[in-house]
Structure 1
């Protein structure tokens, strides 16, 4: 069995966006880049809302208060997109 170990270098240093991607710079010098389409709340947010982020989870997470979005470096490193909401069947 594998247990995730906390790596202090995986703390968030900076967050930035392009038109279609989210990039997170880590304290150890790595940069994680993922498609913005993986995170619909961020995709549809304004540049101002995207720019208003805060460190969370001891520096291992990012919180956007204006759109109530939270991401972790662990999830980003695993390549985990946001869960898709299923629509209820309407008869």
Structure 2
């Protein structure tokens, strides 16, 4: 009999920025890259605002900017 669980495993990601890109890297090394031009709040954000994020079931939420990035 298969064993099932309703608890989802927590995914851990690493977020980095360069001048024009947001890079989201999963634990397995896969990357998703987004132009910051798509997210004006992130483009103009301070380092402090960019560093205050949490991973959600749908993506990343930047707390101080009240911005969601779907992954």
Give me the TM-score of the superposition, normalised by structure 2: 0.75
RMSD of equivalent CA atoms: 1.7
- What is the 5 A alignment of 1:36-75? 36-57=36-57, 60-73=58-71
Match of 2:32 in 1: 32
CA distances 1:15-70 after superposition (whole Å, capped 9, x unpaired): 1101111000023321111211111111111111011111111xx41001101000
SS in 1 for 2:37: helix
* Gap change, CA 1:12 and 1:70, over 3 Å in 2: farther
Runs of 4+ displaced beyond 3 Å? none
> How many Å separate the matches in 1 of 2:24 and 2:34?
9
Q: Is the 8 Å Cα contact of residues 12 and 61 (structure 1) preserved in structure 2?
A: no
Structure with the larger strand share = 2
